Amino acid sequence: MGKEAKGAVVSQLMIDARGVTKSFGTTLALDHVDLQVQAGTVLGLLGPNGAGKTTLVRILTTLLKADSGVAKVAGYDVESDAASLRSMIGLAGQFAAVDEMLTGRENLELVGLLYHLEKPERKRRAEEVLQRLGLEDAADRQVKTYSGGMRRRLDLGASLVGRPAVLILDEPTTGLDPATRIDLWKFIEMLVADGATLLLTTQYLEEADRLADRIVVIDHGHVIAEGTAGELKDQMGADVIEVVVRDPDDLDRVSPLVADLGHGTPVVDRSRNLFTMPADGRVRAVVEAASRLDAAGIEIEDIGMRRPSLDDVFLRLTGHTAEDDDVAGSPGTPGALRRSSR
């Protein structure tokens, strides 16, 4: 079977990884990871720092060899068909990989050269990408004069010059200001509307919630949950009771006082003096919790009931491990997951 045909036959499953395993020395970065992405859909890959996201991205984009397992992208095996595959995918890395000394336009034309495009075509595609990313005004300035957001856009643009059917973006909006992030989301939505298949790693849950059709959560190299954002939220139960205490020293006293009002594991987010717990019963549970905490002399900054968010899901899934890891500088911040400003 010819390679073109091969790509077409499996067009339904654009990314198909089975049992992918990778160690670095004694670190097991990926442990039998399975991950499938249907054509024309967006998969959000979520996980705290060190979960294995970039490692998986590097394997899927042929930059790194797995120790075992099989991975196909657009029907091409990442090892045996690596050369053909490289022309099919667009990769934008976690760290911008553009040349500072060149202009934005020159960077994009250089990418076209790597794709062996003829000069007129290189120019045409660079122009197109500059327009789509709103970089026309800065096109002929050296990249070293660009802002962080402009660099990100250019980096993403570089991955689009080859018009890839599969786009793999590793934390495309990390470090961007909220306005630029929203611009990029719109752009990504446009690409998907055009039929692109997208795998996106992110530490921003809002980003996954907004862009991803399906979400896979990994932690310590293991897939620990998957589903649509709605399915993941449903796992939390009906509602979440939320208490913000004034004095952080009171946080650990909350759970014993109110645990019987909820069902499921309570989660404490020390960075926000926040206690959350899946619970039913709506107003009654909130009123009861408030009166118990008050009776115990715990000052409440805020208390309420709300629908579960992806944050709750993530804290629940990875919170304990993050506290075990306890990365320096963020004691007890569950999940070590970033939140974009809201």
Ligand X SMILES: Nc1ncnc2c1ncn2[C@@H]1O[C@H](COP(=O)(O)OP(=O)(O)OP(=O)(O)O)[C@@H](O)[C@H]1O
Residue 23 binding result from ligand X, Mg ion, none, given CB thresholds of 5 to 8 Å by partner type:
none
93 counts as binding ligand X under rule CB under 6 A: no
User: Per-residue b/e over 22-43, b at no fewer than 16 CB within 10 Å?
Assistant: beeeeebbbbebebbbbbbbbb
Nearer to ligand X (CB atom), residue 54 or residue 180 = 54
51 counts as binding ligand X under rule CB under 6 A: yes
Tokens of 324: 């075990």
174 counts as binding ligand X under rule CB under 6 A: no
Nearest distance from C-beta of residue 146 to ligand X, angstroms: 23
Tokens of 225: 């949950």
Interacting residue with ligand X among 44, 52, 75, 278 (CB under 6 A):
52
- Per the DSSP assignment, residues forming a β-bridge with 169 are 92, 200
Cβ-contact 65, 213 below 8 angstroms = no
Nearest distance from C-beta of residue 174 to ligand X, angstroms: 9
Is the torsion defined by CA of 326, 328, 331, 334 positive or negative? negative
- In whole angstroms, give the CA distance from residue 239 to residue 279: 6
61 counts as binding Mg ion under rule CB under 5 A: no
Nearer to ligand X (CB atom), residue 52 or residue 262 = 52
String of DSSP letters for 75-135: TEETTTTHHHHHTTEEEE-SS----TTSBHHHHHHHHHHHTT--HHHHHHHHHHHHHHTT-
Tokens of 170: 């590793």
Is the torsion defined by CA of 243, 245, 251, 254 positive or negative? negative
55 counts as binding ligand X under rule CB under 6 A: yes
Residue 95 binding result from Mg ion, ligand X, none, given CB thresholds of 5 to 8 Å by partner type:
none
Interacting residue with Mg ion among 15, 46, 54, 86 (CB under 5 A):
54
Stretch 15-34 residues interacting with ligand X (CB under 6 A) = 24, 27, 29
- In whole angstroms, give the CA distance from residue 64 to residue 80: 13
- In whole angstroms, give the CA distance from residue 181 to residue 39: 25
Tokens of 214: 């399906």
First-to-final CA distance of the chain? 51
- In whole angstroms, give the CA distance from residue 144 to residue 148: 10
Nearer to Mg ion (CB atom), residue 198 or residue 279 = 198
Residue 67 φ/ψ, nearest 5 degrees: -75, -40
CB neighbour class for 302 (10 Å; exposed up to 12, middle 13-18, buried from 19): exposed
54 counts as binding ligand X under rule CB under 6 A: yes
276 counts as binding Mg ion under rule CB under 5 A: no
- Which range touches ligand X (CB under 6 A), out of 12-20, 51-59, 252-260, 324-332? 51-59
Is the torsion defined by CA of 117, 106, 102, 137 positive or negative? negative
Nearer to ligand X (CB atom), residue 3 or residue 339 = 339
| Number of amino acids touching ligand X (CB under 6 A) | 12
Nearer to ligand X (CB atom), residue 209 or residue 242 = 209
Nearest distance from C-beta of residue 203 to ligand X, angstroms: 6
- In whole angstroms, give the CA distance from residue 45 to residue 50: 13
71 counts as binding ligand X under rule CB under 6 A: no
53 counts as binding ligand X under rule CB under 6 A: yes
Stretch 266-325 residues interacting with ligand X (CB under 6 A) = none
Stretch 130-189 residues interacting with Mg ion (CB under 5 A) = none
Nearer to ligand X (CB atom), residue 202 or residue 309 = 202
Residue 107 binding result from ligand X, Mg ion, none, given CB thresholds of 5 to 8 Å by partner type:
none
Stretch 13-52 residues interacting with Mg ion (CB under 5 A) = none
Which parts of this chain interact with ligand X (CB under 6 A)?
A: 24, 27, 29, 47, 49-55, 94
Which parts of this chain interact with Mg ion (CB under 5 A)?
A: 53-54, 94
